[in-house]
């Protein structure tokens, strides 16, 4: 083996082992560049989609960092649902979380382990068993021509419980990229930031698309679609809406209290000092997608950050990389 090849081999081994040694007790800066992960998909068949979403606590990883979060079906990214206008979508939501750690006052962060389901953007009924996330019945107001939504128990799935949703999509439902997420009042921000969100795609009718779009779209060219769930799941800055701040207010017990061995501080302190306030893409930090010159892909982007707007821009490519 030549000296240059030996040096390269040693460098690869050293770099790989150094990265592998990073952990919750020995953190290092995030690097990005891992291969892009496409979420698992469930598609409707003959006008119907049946699936189960199980909410539970899971360990998820961002490079070397291990987090304990509330997730759908065991981890990030959540499954993508693919349907068509006019479909019937049946989702069994199972809550396998433990009891709530704290009750909390109304209009505060509370009930970290109580959940429900909202399909965001679909033109469907807000009544049971469809998209009822706020009320179960109406209270007539003093004015007979109006109704007042007020003061009744919300549809919620408590720890250990389950609920069968039946969504009837309108025949005129516009095709597009939508999303589903937890929407229990008092826990929505916390649970969405934890990872309880996923893509919901209403596919275009084949005869309604231009040929150029059909060539990069399902159902015949699903490999050309790039579903991206952009989420605020790694937000550990010193901010009122940082994830640890919400954990503290809602009474979550899964804290980053690992001790960083070299500095004798907690992992949370280390993340705050290093301004770990990055958006994740499908649960990944700056993943990599490889494309050939002239290749066209269809990117489906959803921003599930509870409070933030995203500006999308393209950087100038480096010489030789485009």
Q: Which CATH superfamily is domain 40-303 in?
A: Cupredoxins -  blue copper proteins (2.60.40.420)
Query: Each residue of 179-225: pLDDT tens digit?
Result: 999 999 899 999 999 999 999 999 999 888 999 999 999 999 999 99
Query: CA–CA separation, 79 vs 90, rounded Å?
Result: 15
- The token pair at 86 is 């006019």
Q: Number of helices (H) and strands (E), helices first, in the chain?
A: 5, 16
Bridge-based pairing of strands 88-95 and 118-120 is: unpaired
Query: Measured at the alpha carbon of residue 308, what is the angle toward residues 85 and 37, in degrees to the nearest 5?
Result: 60
- pLDDT value at 55 more than 80: yes
pTM: 0.85
Select from 317, 288, 274, 225 the least CA-distant residue to 22: 274
Q: Tokens in use for 67?
A: 């987090």
Q: In sequence order, which residues have a C-beta less than 8 Å from that of residue 303 and are 6 or more positions away?
A: 230, 309, 310
CA 178 to chain centre: 12
pLDDT digits (tens, 9 = 90+) for 247-290: 999 999 999 988 898 888 999 999 999 889 889 999 999 999 99
**What is the number of other CB atoms lying within 10 angstroms of the CB of residue 258?**
17
Exposed e or buried b per residue across 232-253, where buried means at least 16 C-beta atoms within 10 angstroms of its C-beta: bbbbbbeeeebbbbbbebbbbe
Q: Give 15-47 pLDDT, tens digit per residue.
A: 444 456 899 999 999 999 999 999 999 999 999
Q: Are 163 and 157 in contact (CB under 8 A)?
A: yes
């Amino acid at each position: 083996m030549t000296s240059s090849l030996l040096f390269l081999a040693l460098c690869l081994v050293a770099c790989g082992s150094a990265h592998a040694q990073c952990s919750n007790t020995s953190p290092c800066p995030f690097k990005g560049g891992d291969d892009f992960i496409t979420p698992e998909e469930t598609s409707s068949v003959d006008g119907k989609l049946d699936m189960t979403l199980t909410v539970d606590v899971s360990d998820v990883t961002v490079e070397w960092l291990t987090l304990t979060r509330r997730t759908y079906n065991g981890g990030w990214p959540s499954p993508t649902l693919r349907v068509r206008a006019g479909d019937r979508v049946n989702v069994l939501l199972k809550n396998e979380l433990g009891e709530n750690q704290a009750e909390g006052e109304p209009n505060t962060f509370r009930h970290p382990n109580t959940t429900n389901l909202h399909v965001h953007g679909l033109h469907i009924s807000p009544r049971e068993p469809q998209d009822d996330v706020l009320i179960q019945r109406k209270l007539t107001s003093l004015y007979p021509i109006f109704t007042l939504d007020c003061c009744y128990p919300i549809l919620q799935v408590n720890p250990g419980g389950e609920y069968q949703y039946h969504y009837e999509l309108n025949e005129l439902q516009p095709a597009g990229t939508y999303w589903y997420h937890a929407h229990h009042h008092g826990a929505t921000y916390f649970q969405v930031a934890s990872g309880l969100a996923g893509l919901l795609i209403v596919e275009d009718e084949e005869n309604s698309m231009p040929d150029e779009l059909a060539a990069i779209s399902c159902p015949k060219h699903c490999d050309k679609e790039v579903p991206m769930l952009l989420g605020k799941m790694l937000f550990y800055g010193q901010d009122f809406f940082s994830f640890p701040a919400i954990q503290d207010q809602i009474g979550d017990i899964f804290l980053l209290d690992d001790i960083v061995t070299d500095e004798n501080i907690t992992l949370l302190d280390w993340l705050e000092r290093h301004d770990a306030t990055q958006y994740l893409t499908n649960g990944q930090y700056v993943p990599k997608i490889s494309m050939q010159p002239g290749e066209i892909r269809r990117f489906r982007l959803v921003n599930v950050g509870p409070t933030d707007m995203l500006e999308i821009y393209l950087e100038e490519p480096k010489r030789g990389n485009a």
